[in-house]
Amino acid sequence: MNLQPFRIVQPLSRILHRTMHQMLCEPQRTLPVAVTDALITYSLYEQVPHAELLEALLAGLKQAQHAEAVLTSDNLFVPLKAVRRTLAGVQNFPFTTAELKALKRDVEVSVVRDITRLSTDDLSSADVGLLWGCATQCSHWDCVEELLRHFPLSSTLSLQSPTEYRDLVMGVCTPQFVSKTHPRSIYGEGGVAAALAGRGDAAPPVRHAETFIQRILGAEKVGQRCREALVASSLSLLVNGGSAADPTALEERDLHAITCVMFAAALNLQCDVPGCSTLAFPFSAAEWAQYVGSTDRSAIGSSTTQCVLPSTIGGLSLPGWYRRVVALHQRSVPDVARASFSAAVASDLLRLYQRVDTESLESFFFSFLPLVIAAAPHMDCRTVLRGYHNDVMLKLFGVTSSASSATNNDGNRAVAMGQRGRWTAKEASALATPVLDTTATSCAISADMAMRVMLAEVCVQERGKPLPEAHVPAMESMLRTVVGHLRYHLHGEPRYHTRPRRTVTAGELPASLWRAWNSQRTSLLATVLSEVQERMSGSAGQRSSARALMDLVGQGLQLLRPLISMEVIEERGTARMVTHLLSSGRDAALEVGGASYEVELQSFAVQHTQDGFTRTDVATIVQAMEEHRDHGSNNGGAEGDAKVHRILEGLKAAEQTLPLRSWS
């Protein structure tokens, strides 16, 4: 809801709740799939009576349990094909009260009991796959056991195709990040642990991987089948003389290979299998080079035949991609395996930059990643991300972060993920990542993609340090694209004009602007401008590219002026927009509106905490205010300090009234 305009949050919440509650209370044998999909949307709303809806869903499930057995999975109260999404939606509900916690558990138990009405005769392979998906989605182990008691799932394992078995293993071994904390910072290097809220109140982490692997699947059996599937899938990819590989066959092999990696990581993380165990990773360096390929010439040996290197690690979203990266960088995964995937990981990241929407990328960096860091503080997540992001910058613009980045990226990533002391300079050089095509793919990227790449750049580069010098021309190019795009739609002027002819007021904003721009883009541009301004301070006089970049920052700030006015915020503003303007984009907001504007915006946030703000949004604003207070920010004397203090206390009180969640 923090992406919806303030003025429609409450009406939308009422309409959604009334519609969902009415549909759940209607007598029906089967829940429409559209309702189960809407359950996920409902779970993300803040100002709805979550407990009331769960009670209605629970009543329908209990009534269905008294019905007769069903012969097809589509006739269950929750159709089997929709169960996994339904469980995911229920698990996304907040757990603010003991009542909500109990209702969430009761609904999950009832969904599983509804499934047991399905006849065990003539289960299709699709049904078996869906049942395994339900089992891996359950957050309570007694629900898993009930499914395994009722359905002969264990006996189907030997009958599953390599692809079906791979999907099951991937579901079991995907790393979970369930934080017991509330990170209040988007930056993971040194600040998250110091500002946590809600400690000890979060839902317990779901860690069923060990039980699945040890008791249900069998660790040795999983390792054997994963190995067999990888070997079989690689046979058609052995190249000699550079013959082209079939893309479908290559992707299948790649997914089998990353499954082996994720299984090795799960053994280490969940089952405490030491990295030196033969079970931990059942491939020698030579075997891995034979079946997956290698950048290490010593592993390839004198043979002229080797397998094509991976082209993907899979993952349709940034969180999905990142979970696989985390697995790839565990201690139990050998360096040669990690290096073989390096180019594929960067290529996937570039693909995601190109295809995901800007809001999804923003959520990844500002919401998902801080939770990962809070849940796994021993991992230096941004250092790993930084290396792959720098590879993307190389691919897009032909730039590197330093002269030695191509040689040292893998070594730095290994050190960051707990490999300290295991790499020498010689080993790092031997396993160096193959440099991506040094010719820039295209500098003519869209304004939306330019915004995404700039946002990624300021989020992943090291905090408190200037942007990499080689990246400055690329940032100038991208910011010029975004500023030109905004100027064109704001003023109707050609994109190549260096400056607008005049400054428009909020009341003069053209209606056509909002078809090409939105409030969320405004706050993200403010974040980018704030970060660039901070990181480039003192550099503007040194190089022409730095001066040009800072000139564009000034133009961007001028264009932002009417877009962040209180008039526009009241009409089109969102909770996430205000959160950014008061935290990551604060410097730009201050530059445009001054201290009085900031206080007005803070007061506005207090008044509208029930209009779309999440608990994390409010916590982020609170942290930003406390940090700037501690740094001696000038609030206009004692009276100003007292007003800011009242606002801060109001936000802290409001934070405690908002739903408490634990994202994974």
Nearest CA-CA partner of 358 in 524, 486, 484, 471: 524
Q: Give the mean pLDDT of 522-537.
A: 94
* Burial (CB count within 10 angstroms: exposed 0-12, middle 13-18, buried 19+), residue 437: exposed
Cα gap 411→417, rounded to integer Å: 10
According to DSSP, residue 202 is labeled S
Q: Is the pTM of this model over 0.85?
A: yes
Cα gap 568→604, rounded to integer Å: 13
Q: CA 138, 162, 664 angle in degrees (round to 5)?
A: 30
Q: Give the mean pLDDT of 214-239.
A: 91
At 85, list the tokens. 């999404």
Cα gap 457→21, rounded to integer Å: 44
At 351, list the tokens. 């693909």
Q: Dihedral angle at the C-alpha atoms of 243, 248, 253, 257, nearest 10 degrees?
A: 120
Q: Which of 186-200, 274-288, 338-352, 423-437 has the lowest mean pLDDT?
A: 423-437
For residue 307, give the H/E element and its range: strand 306-307
What is the reported pLDDT for 651?
97
Contact between residue 293 and residue 232 where contact means Cβ atoms under 8 Å apart? no
Cα gap 255→315, rounded to integer Å: 10
What is the reported pLDDT for 433?
35
Q: Which of 70-84, 211-225, 401-415 has the lowest mean pLDDT?
A: 401-415
Q: Which of 192-206, 256-270, 353-367, 517-531 has the lowest mean pLDDT?
A: 192-206
The CB density around residue 80, as the number of other CB atoms within 10 Å, is 22
Contact between residue 521 and residue 358 where contact means Cβ atoms under 8 Å apart? yes
Provide the pLDDT confidence category of residue 269 given band limits of 50, 70 and 90: confident
- 592, pLDDT greater than 80: yes
Tell me the per-residue pLDDT of 317-326, one tens digit each, with 9 for 90 and over: 999 999 999 9
Cα gap 569→419, rounded to integer Å: 47
What is the reported pLDDT for 262?
95
Beta bridge partners of 5: 574
Contact between residue 173 and residue 263 where contact means Cβ atoms under 8 Å apart? yes
Check residues 223 and 185 and name the one with the higher pLDDT. Answer: 223
Contacts of 292 (CB under 8 A, 6+ apart): 230, 234, 253, 257, 307, 309, 310, 337, 340
Secondary structure class of 402 (helix, strand, coil): coil
Provide the pLDDT confidence category of residue 305 given band limits of 50, 70 and 90: low
Q: Over the range 501-516, which residues count as b (16 or more CB within 10 Å of their CB) and which as e? A: eeebebeebeeebeee
Q: How far is CA 612 from the centre of its chain?
A: 21
Tell me the per-residue pLDDT of 432-457, one tens digit each, with 9 for 90 and over: 333 334 334 445 799 999 999 999 99
**CA atoms in the 13 A half-sphere facing the CB of 249:** 16
* Cα distance between the two ends of the chain: 19
Cα gap 549→469, rounded to integer Å: 12
How many residues belong to the chain?
Answer: 664
Domain boundary assignment for the chain: 6-156, 209-430, 447-657
At 624, list the tokens. 């930003």
Percent of the chain at pLDDT > 70 equals 82
Nearest CA-CA partner of 583 in 538, 524, 537, 641: 524
Residue with tokens 């060990």: 210
Cα gap 595→649, rounded to integer Å: 19
Label the pairing between strands 238-239 and 306-307.
Answer: antiparallel
At 162, list the tokens. 């390599």
Tell me the per-residue pLDDT of 46-66, one tens digit each, with 9 for 90 and over: 999 999 999 999 999 999 888
For residue 487, give the H/E element and its range: helix 472-491
Cα gap 532→454, rounded to integer Å: 9
Contacts of 257 (CB under 8 A, 6+ apart): 230, 291, 292, 310, 341
